[in-house]
Structures are given as C-alpha cells and as structure tokens.
Chains A and B, each alone.
Chain A
C-alpha cells in the first residue's frame, strides 16, 4: 500500500515539476519579447523627433534624420509588391483552381515552401549574379527585384490556402449560370477569398520591410537622396546596419530610432493582417 502510494505521489510530483517547467518556458518566451521591445522603446524613443522624418542621413558626427532611407525602403517595397504580387496570386490561383489535383501543383507547393524559408542572403546573391553583375553596378531596381523574390512565396502560399477554403458550391453556382472558369475565379473565388489574399500581401510587406541581407549587395546604400532606380538607393535596414556598427554616437542613436520605426511598422502590419482574417496563417 505504501509502495503504491509513494509511486502515485512520485508521479504526481513529476507531473507538477514538468508542468511548472512548461509555464517557465512560456514565461521565457514572453520575457524575451518584452526585453527586446523594451530595449527598443528605451533606446529608440530617446532619438525620435520630427527631424528623423524630415532630414537626410547625416555625415559622421552630425545630427540628421533618416528621410532618404525611409523613402528608399518605401520605394523598393512598393516596387517589390507591384512586381511580386501578381505572379504570386496567379501561381496560387493555378494551384488552387486549375491544377488543384495535378502533379505540378504538388511540386510547386513543395518548392514554394522551401523558397518561403530559404535564406534571404542567397536571394541577394542570386540577384547579384542575375542583375548587378550584367548591369555592372548596384541599383535600386535590383534591390526591389530581390525583395519581390521574397514576396512571391508568401503570396503564393496564402492565395492557394485561401482559395482552397472557398466552398465548391459557390464555384458550381457560377458555372451553372454559364460563366466560364476565369469569370468564376475572378468574380466568385477572388471575391470570397479577398480578405485572405490581402492578408497574404500585408504579411509579405511586413516580411520584406525588415529584410537587410538581400539588399546589401543589390541596392547597396546611399548617403544622399536619390530618385534614380538605376543607382544605389538607401534603405532603412541597410542604414541601420551601417550606423549601428559605426563608432559615432549620433549614428548609433539614429540606428536605434530606425530600428524602433521598422519594428513597430512590421509588428503593426502583421497584427493588422492577422486581424483581417481572424484565422492564423
């Protein structure tokens, strides 16, 4: 009897220990998030003022802002989304609508999932070989195309998933009144899956607006304002990289402020995107 009860209490004790450890694990995860966001707010807010958004990046040792870096990031992100989104949506459409049961869909899904987690610096090398080397110089366009390569897999994945959720009865109703396939897709399937597809695009924007590695040797960096897509262009992440590793205090402060701006933009975008569908992607 005592042996049995001691076994029982040992099992109970073991259970409480393991469950406590699980709670501790969750605590660790949340604590890291709090630590990182706390440090960002602490260091970043100190340098946050209007000049950050209205002045150019300064030479070493002087005050200034991040205007050209922010503008460059926005420009390259917009081009990347404009280039990458149609390809992603069309590929997702093929996989969910025309080729739902074909072999090629399985292969594309597999490859797309690998692209989704492939190291972004490899994409940078790819675009360097594809565009920068033949053109002979770094350019904002190459940076934007590198970012587009990261947009495509995110949009393909969400578009396919969302179209697969559209009930077949809706499509059949469209076909029954004589609409051809592409009209059914455009006016029925896309409309039903709209919020999900938008979520995918927003998640893609969130993903690329913080990406540094693919821009390092495609768009490079630029100390000055540049509207030329065929020349190097500044971007917020690359500027942060350069400024943070510099020995100048003003630059380091701007790096922290830039980091704060990026992080809250990205986190805000991804929370907003998730709230659109109410379903986790």
Chain B
C-alpha cells in the first residue's frame, strides 16, 4: 500500500490539492450565500425600523410645535396651520370598532357553518369564496360603496332608522339625520365586509385545532351541536379567536381606500353615526398631495405615526395570541 501510494504521490497529491480547493470554494460560496440570506432576513427588520424612524423624523416638526395636545385637539385648519388629531382618531376607532362588532358574530357563524354544518364537498368552494372577499382590492370596495351601497342606504335604510329612533333618547342622537348615504356607519359596514374573511379563516383554522376527542366526549354526554361549540370549542380556542379578531381590527384601523370613498372627509367629532367624518388613513390619502407648508405635511405624517403605533400594538398582540395557540397545537 505504502509503496503504491509513494509511487502515485505526485498525481494523488494533485488530486488532494484539487479536492481541498474545491472544498474551500464550496465553503466560501456557502458562506457568501448564507450571509446574503441572513442579510435579507435582517433587511426585513430594517424595513420596519426604517418605517418607524422615517415617520418620527417626518412628524417631528408638527409634534414639537403642538406637543401632546395634538392628540386631543379637534381643530384641523390648514389656513391658520392649527392641526389636531382628535377627529381622525375618533373616526378611525369608531368605524373599526363597529366593523368588528358586526364582523365577529358573522365570521364565527361562517366558521361554525364551515366546520360543522356544511356538506363536505361544498366546504372548500365556500371557504374559497369567502376568502375571495379578502382578495378584492380595497379601491373596489370604495367605488362599490360610493356608487351602489351608499345610495341604497340613503334611500332606504337611513330614513327608516332615523324615523324609528326619532323619539328614543340617546339613539336619536346616534342616528341623527339628514341621511347623506356616506358617513361613519357606511364606512363601518364596508370595513366589516372587508375584515370578515380574515376573522372567518383564522377562526376556522383554530376550530380545527380542537382535539376530536374533546368534542366527541361532549357529544357523548348528549350535548347539541350549539352546546359543543359554545361550551367546548369556543372556550378552548378563545385565544386564537381573539388573535383573529385583533388581526381584523388591525386591518380595519389601517384600511384606506374603501373608507376614503365613503367617509365624507369632514374633520369633526359628531355623535351621529350617519354624519360624515374622517379617519387617519382617509385624511392622509385625501390631503397629502395637496398639503402645502411644512407643518401641514408634518401633521399628516404625525397622523401616520399615530396609526402606525396603534396598528403595531394591535397586530403584535394578535400575533402573540396566534403564536400561543400554534404552540399548543404543535405540542
């Protein structure tokens, strides 16, 4: 063996060197590929921090001029350059809250229908149809809301509601006329349709994580389908459903185009849900390109910063809750 090896030492040495070179080349390429991949992953982090930094920088002139009072001021006057965020914040919170109140029961209802009642061959088509609602671009909801939905509300629903609640205290200020068609409630209804698919699909997914044996034992002691859902499935998946709802809320808070079409863009805080109002995103979309003067632009970016902080907190909470239920499903 040794003899042969010595005899071929020159050619074998070359082969060995070539081999070493190849291995080194491989190691180098691997290192490069790995670093580029890691760099891209870090870039994702940088995007989010870049968003935060650029918003703070852009909002600084307005924030330093108005201080914390910016959040509590209703006035929005480009002529005197006096800006406050109260009306957009109010509009954003109220429309999103109503949207969630409407969408959650319907979304959970559809999820129950899909997991318990629907004939198996229809499940996938119906689930896809509901998810298509999420695929429709938001500007389509806007144009549909403005030309189809708002006139319908103005002609039929709003006059009826106003006349019914005319003499009821509290409710008559909540539903005070005139019926414009567009306004806070119209926006909330359209937002409800838009977040419905998110709530439905997550609720359906977390319903599927319930161990079959839990449901079977409930059926075994004689529970009805509703009792199984109400007492077993929903309590078991509560955290996941909350996560889905928060995700929907995050979407509703930041939704721009659909709301811009139908909210009416009026900077005031009004008790009536039929009155036109504005949201943070609608204000930015409507006014940003026309804003002249540093303080005006900066105030709009400050609105964006407030929206960013609100959605970040909501979405982070949503993801945290969904992670918890995923971990449990995986365990």
Contact = CB atoms under 8 A, between A and B. Distances in A.
Q: Do A and B bind each other?
A: yes
Given A119-B254, A119-B256, A129-B54, A217 B200 contact: no
B115 to A, nearest CB: 10
Given A18-B226, A25-B106, A90-B39, 9 more contacts: A19-B225, A25-B109, A91-B37, A119-B255, A121-B304, A129-B58, A182-B30, A209-B137, A267-B135
**A107, A111, A128, A153 — which one has the most chain B CB atoms within 10 A of its CB?**
A111
Nearest to B288: A217
Interface string B104-116: 0111111011101
B41 A99 contact: yes
23 contacts: A28-B106, A98-B38, A99-B38, A104-B41, A107-B45, A108-B42, A110-B319, A113-B315, A118-B308, A121-B256, A125-B284, A130-B54, A180-B27, A180-B30, A181-B34, A211-B137, A213-B256, A216-B288, A217-B289, A244-B147, A262-B137, A263-B137, A270-B135
A29 B255 contact: no
B239 interface: no
Interface in A176-235: 180-183, 185, 206, 209-213, 216-217, 220
A216 B289 contact: yes
A238 to B, nearest CB: 9
Contact of A23 (B113, B136, B139, B200): B113
Nearest to B109: A25
Interface string B23-54: 00011011001101111111111011011001
Contacts of B142: 241, 244
Interface residues of B, number: 91
Contacts of A169: none
Listed from nearest, the 6 A-B pairs whose CB atoms lie closest are A210-B137, A119-B254, A25-B109, A94-B37, A90-B40, A15-B224
Interface of B: 26-27, 29-30, 33-34, 36-45, 47-48, 50-51, 54-55, 57-58, 105-110, 112-114, 116-118, 126-130, 132-133, 135-144, 146-148, 193, 196-197, 200, 224-227, 229-230, 247, 250-251, 253-257, 260-261, 281, 284-285, 288-289, 301, 304, 307-308, 311-312, 315-316, 319, 323
Interface stretch (A36-44, A48-56, A60-68, A74-82): A36-44
Interface residues of A, number: 90
B48 to A, nearest CB: 5
A112 B41 CA distance: 9
Given A32-B133, A95-B41, A25 B110 contact: yes
A217 B51 CA distance: 16
A88 B44 CA distance: 8
A97 B38 CA distance: 10
Contacts of A181: 30, 33-34
Contacts of A149: 47
A29 B130 contact: yes
Given A11-B224, A29-B200, A99-B41, A114 B140 contact: no
Contact of A119 (B57, B253, B319): B253
Contact of B40 (A18, A25, A87, A267): A87
A202 to B, nearest CB: 12
Contacts of A119: 253-256, 281, 307-308, 311
Contacts, number: 266
B280 to A, nearest CB: 9
B46 to A, nearest CB: 10
Given A26-B114, A26-B118, A180-B30, A267 B43 contact: no
A206 B140 CA distance: 14
A122 B51 contact: yes
Given A15-B225, A15-B227, A91-B43, A263 B136 contact: yes
B126 A26 contact: yes
A102 to B, nearest CB: 9
A33 B281 CA distance: 25
B140 A122 contact: no
A156 interface: yes
Contacts of B307: 119, 121-122
A237 B51 contact: no
Contact of A244 (B54, B146, B319): B146
A118 B311 contact: yes
A105 to B, nearest CB: 7
A263 B135 CA distance: 8
A276 interface: no
A117 interface: yes
Given A119-B256, A119-B281, A180 B58 contact: no
Nearest to A126: B51
A170 interface: no
B256 to A, nearest CB: 4
Contacts of B41: 90-91, 94-95, 99, 104-105, 108
**B29, B137, B197 — which one has the most chain A CB atoms within 10 A of its CB?**
B137
Contacts of B312: 114, 118
B132 A270 contact: yes
B226 A14 contact: yes
A213 B285 contact: yes
B38 A94 contact: yes
Interface in A108-153: 108, 110-115, 117-123, 125-126, 128-130, 149, 152-153
Contacts of B107: 25
